[in-house]
Amino acid sequence: MSTALAVHHGPFGRVALYNLDRSLALHAHREGHLIFHIQGPAASIRIDEDIYPLSGGQAVAISPWQPHNYMSLDHDEPSLFLTLYIKPFWFLEASRQANAALRFGRSPIDVTEQICRLSLQVSSAMLEDADDSFVAGYLYELTQACFDQSWQWVAEGATFTRCAPPVRDFRVRNSVKLMQHRVSERIVLDEIAKDSGLSRPHFYKLFRQQVGITPNIYLNTLRMESALQRLTTSHDAVTDIGLDLGFSSQASFTRFFIANAGIAPSDYRRVVHFAGVA
Amino acid sequence: MSLISYVTKIHFAENVLEDALEAELERLGLCRPMIVSDNGTSRRNVLDRLLAAVPRPVSPTVYESGCCRATEEACAEAANLYLDCEADGLIAFGGAAAFNLTKAVALRVSHDGALRNYAGMEGGRPRILDVIPPMIAIPTIAGSCAETVGIAVVSLRDGSNVSFVSQFLTPRVVICDPTLTLDLPAGDTAAAGMDALTHCLETYISTAYNPPADGIARDGLRRAIAHLERAVADGGDLGARREMMAAALNGALANQKGLGGVHAMSHALSGVVSGALDHGATNAVLLPLVLEFNAPAVADRYDDIKREFRLPARASLADAIMRLRERIALPARLGDIGVVVGDLPRAATLAAADYANRTNPRHAGAHDYLSMLQAAL
């Protein structure tokens, strides 16, 4: 069973220490995402169409809305990962360097001595309940070091990612808005398609083309965001949160949450810590 | 990709020192500024000119620092003096050592606890708050490129070099008066000028996307290439001095785009070598090697630089730098400036961890830096 050792929420976004022993479903985040292997067997991750190792020597950077799924290679022994979900605007303000969308140049990040040291410092600061400004400070440095490296040329793979164009089709923009409004209802994507003025196949095709991910993954991201928000800022029962998001039972909500985050919602709620300062 | 900000007020004119200083001291409300000078005894005249320019009843205190780098010891000593004389602001007067030390003192007197806690690498950036006393920066060499920059590089007691990075560490006002550089000896002019040229070149090819900084860097490069030899050959050539000061200022303004491998190595060497190391001369030795290393990652940017050098497209940029270095009589090898082979492995490790390495166009590890340092020895 995968578990969470520590989760911090703050102005930077979220950062978590997860012990993972199972694979996750394909998903995406609004935030810039970094994953560092801390201990245990190596694993791998699929980002878009490519598979990258997750080991002591290699971390990965995932740009906002880039679909990915973690793949556990050893189901007997869990691996400990430090995972960052960095809000693009926090990094933009703090760094004066970043892409507004926190778009990384490429996914594989070579874990240099310095990146290794910083990832361990973030991890221990989280476990030791260090002053919040230390966690935020190390997080910033770690993000910056990885962001900068992702834009440096390397002999083995010199092509950089290209920026996704903005969503131009008004019907797709409309469908995004509808999903955001109706995330707390039991949403059926067919209805979203209809209300956006598109046939079902055309809706899927156009959405994928313009947003870069399927409407299902997009909707799952919205559900996860809503679930995380309520788990961490309210005392509502897990069952109620699941029902409000359109799940028929607590079991199906828990299964969905585990598939997307790796751990159970109650586990997440138990370990989360709020950092007050930037 | 960048958030771009140019906020520092800059006076730039010949003989502007006296008028600008009086106006800015009044505007900032400074009555007891502390002057941090790294000009040493050989350039006593420039410090005398500054002191004469301080209007009554302002009463300054002077702290004279070493000329090569800012150290934690000097910072502690200067901070004590600052507190003893109840100073209310700082004037950095000189080159990189004075600028770095002034920023470190400003941080020290306004923030508690170990200095290291505020270092960028220690996640210190968010802990540096907007409580820093006002600073005025006045360069007396054309080349440190630190006057408009919110970064202080300091050697700590344990021998490590750290950077303190915060927008609040940027001096509020810069006074660039090229007449302050007229007495600078030819060797120092050459080294400072190569530093300015290196700043412009490294920022121009750095990974960050910052179009205004590119324009500023390229303009600085053009000025430095056209006037460095003249300023070295005839120190009294005010036109050449002015252009070199403009090149250095451009290098400082472009700095927010990030530096590269040359500075990563020269920062590292300054912390490792036992004696004082001239930063500009070190950069001049390393620049051609880093240009060669970065060549596959830079593509058409070298063509832009070659145009500024008036070189044909197929000529080697590294060769052009080496010829320029020879004409202004700067050393060609690290061995000539006091680096020994035993310094190299640690310097290579530190270079890989240096901030400047993060924006070098090609990803470089300690082994890459070790090869370059060995080739430069």
Rounded Cα distance between A100 and B24, Å, is 36
Are A21 and A101 found together in one domain? yes
A111/A229 same-domain check: no
Residue B163 pairs with which residues in a beta bridge?
B153
Q: Residue B351: give its domain's CATH number.
A: 1.20.1090.10
For residue B1, pLDDT over 60 is answered with: no
Q: Which of A126, A29, A17 is nearest to A78 (CA)?
A: A17
The single-letter code of the amino acid at A151 is W
CB contact under 8 A, B258 and A97: yes
- Whether B129 contacts chain A with CB within 8 A: no
Q: Which residue has the higher pLDDT, B293 or B313?
A: B293
Given a cut of 90, whether residue B274 has pLDDT beyond it is no
**Which residues of chain B from 307 to 336 reach within 8 Å of chain A, CB to CB?**
none
Same domain, B307 and B195: yes
Distance CA B155, CA B140 (A): 22
Could you say which DSSP state residue B311 is in?
Answer: -
Q: What is the distance between the alpha carbons of residues B280 and B191, in angstroms, rounded to a whole number?
A: 4
Interface ipTM? 0.83
With bands split at pLDDT 50, 70 and 90, how would you rate the model's confidence at A96? very low
How does residue A210 score in pLDDT terms, banded at 50, 70 and 90? confident
Domain at A103, CATH number: 2.60.120.10
For residue A152, the chain B residues in CB contact (below 8 A) are: 207, 297, 360-363
Inter-CA distances, A269 with A229, A231, B18, B50, Å: 10, 6, 63, 62
pLDDT bin (cut points 50, 70, 90) of residue A133 is confident
Tell me: the pLDDT tens digits for A182-197? 887 776 788 899 999 9
- The Cα diameter of chain A in Å comes to 53
pLDDT digits (tens, 9 = 90+) for A14-23: 999 999 988 9
pLDDT score of A102? 79
| pTM for the structure as a whole | 0.89
In a domain, A52, yes or no: yes
pLDDT band at A181 (very low <50, low <70, confident <90, very high): confident
Range of the domain at A263: 170-274
Q: Identify the domain boundary among B132, B152, B180.
A: B180
Number of domains in chain A: 2
Is pLDDT of B176 > 50?
A: yes
B181-226 tens-digit pLDDT: 999 999 999 999 999 999 999 999 998 888 899 999 999 999 999 9
Domain that holds residue B94: 9-180
pLDDT 10s digits, B132-160: 999 999 999 999 889 999 999 998 888 77
The last residue of a domain, from among B165, B180, B195: B180
How many domains, in total, are found in chain B?
2
Domain shared by A140 and A190, yes or no: no
Average pLDDT for B285-313 = 94
Chain B residues 177-216 within an 8 A CB cutoff of chain A? 207-208
Residue B4 lies in a domain: no
Q: Identify whether residues B343 and B258 lie together within a single domain.
A: yes
Same domain, B226 and B360: yes
Interface of A with B in 67-126 (CB under 8 A): 92-99, 110, 112-114, 118, 121
**CB of B6 within 8 Å of any CB in chain A?**
no
- In chain B, what percentage of residues exceed pLDDT 90? 85
Encode pLDDT of A235-278 as tens digits. 999 999 999 898 989 999 999 999 999 999 999 999 988 875 43
Domain assignment present for residue A139? The answer is yes
Where does a domain end: A103, A119, A150?
Answer: A150
Same domain (yes/no): B251, B174: no
pLDDT at B52 over 70: yes
Chain B residues whose beta carbon lies within 8 Å of the beta carbon of residue A137: 122-127
- CA torsion sign, A236 to A240 to A244 to A246? positive
Q: Give the angle subtended at the CA of A17 by the CAs of A14 and A18, to the nearest 5°.
A: 115
Higher pLDDT, A46 or A278: A46
Are B144 and B242 part of one and the same domain? no
Distance (Å, whole) CA B114 – CA A6: 28
Q: How confident is the model at residue A158 (pLDDT cuts 50, 70, 90)?
A: low
What dihedral do alpha carbons B176, B39, B247, B70 form, nearest 10°?
Answer: -110
> Last residue of a domain, which of B180, B196, B225?
B180
Would B117 be classed as within a structural domain? yes
Query: Three-state SS for B37?
Result: strand
> Within this chain, do residues B199 and B158 fall inside the same structural domain, yes or no?
no
The answer to whether the CB of B251 falls within 8 A of the CB of B199 is: yes
C-alpha to C-alpha distance for B169 and A221, rounded to whole angstroms: 40
* A261 and A125 belong to one structural domain: no
Which tens digit of pLDDT belongs to each residue from B78-119? 999 999 999 999 999 999 999 999 999 999 999 999 999 999
Tell me, what CATH number does A217's domain have? 1.10.10.60
B292 found inside a domain: yes
Would the pLDDT of B337 be above 80?
yes
